[in-house]
A and B are shown apart, each in its own frame.
Chain A
Amino acid sequence: MSADAHVSIQIDRSSTPMLVTVAGEVDAEAAPELAEAIAGSGGSDLAFDLAGVTFIDSSGLRVIAGAAGEAEEAGRRCTVVAASPAVERIFAMTGLTSLIDG
Chain B
Amino acid sequence: MPARDGAACVVLDLGLPGFTGFEALDRLLALEPATAVVVLTGWGDQDAGIAAVARGAQDYLVKGEADGATIARSIRFAVERKRSQLAAAALAEAEVRQAEQHRLERALLAEPVLRRVDLSLTSRYQAARPGVVSGDFFDAIELDDGSVRLVVGDVAGHGADEAALGVALRAGWRSLVLAGLDPTDLLLALEDLIAAERRSGDEFATVCDLTIAPDLRSVCVRSAGHPPPVLAGRGALVDDARRAPLGVRLGPRDLPGTHHDLPADWSLVAYTDGLFEVRSGDGVLAAEAVPPAVEAAAGRGGVDPDALIAAFAGLGAEGWRDDVAVIVISGRTGS
Give A residues with C-beta under 8 Å from B: 27-28, 31, 35, 54-55, 57-59, 61-63, 65-70, 72-73, 86, 89-90, 92-99
Contacts and interface: CB of A to CB of B under 8 A. Distances in A.
Interface string B218-255: 00000111111000000000000111110111110000
A90 B206 CA distance: 12
30 contacts: A28-B321, A28-B322, A35-B202, A54-B284, A58-B156, A58-B206, A61-B156, A62-B156, A62-B157, A62-B203, A65-B204, A65-B244, A66-B204, A66-B248, A69-B247, A69-B250, A72-B249, A86-B286, A89-B287, A89-B288, A93-B225, A93-B227, A93-B228, A94-B225, A95-B223, A95-B241, A95-B243, A95-B245, A95-B251, A96-B244
B157 A59 contact: yes
Interface string B65-83: 0000000000000000000
B170 interface: no
Contacts of A92: 242
Given A58-B206, A58-B277, A69-B247, 7 more contacts: A65-B244, A69-B249, A89-B286, A93-B287, A94-B244, A95-B224, A98-B251
Contacts of B228: 93
Contacts of A57: 273, 277, 321-322
Contacts of A93: 225, 227-228, 287
B149 interface: no
A93 B241 CA distance: 11
Given A54-B284, A89-B287, A98 B248 contact: no
B139 interface: no
Contacts of B154: 58
Contact of B156 (A59, A69, A89): A59
Given A54-B284, A59-B158, A62-B157, A70 B201 contact: yes
B242 A97 contact: yes
Contacts of B287: 89, 93
5 A-B pairs with the lowest CB-CB distances in the bound complex, closest first = A66-B202, A62-B156, A94-B225, A58-B156, A95-B244
Nearest to B205: A58
Given A59-B156, A95-B243, A96-B225, A54 B251 contact: no
A69 B248 contact: yes
Contact of A65 (B227, B245, B273, B279): B245
Contacts of A86: 283-284, 286
B158 A66 contact: no
A68 B322 contact: no
Contacts of A62: 156-157, 202-204
A89 B250 CA distance: 18
Contact of B225 (A55, A70, A95): A95
A66 B245 contact: no
Contact of B202 (A70, A95, A96): A70
Best-buried of B154, B249, B273, B284 by chain A (most CB within 10 Å): B284
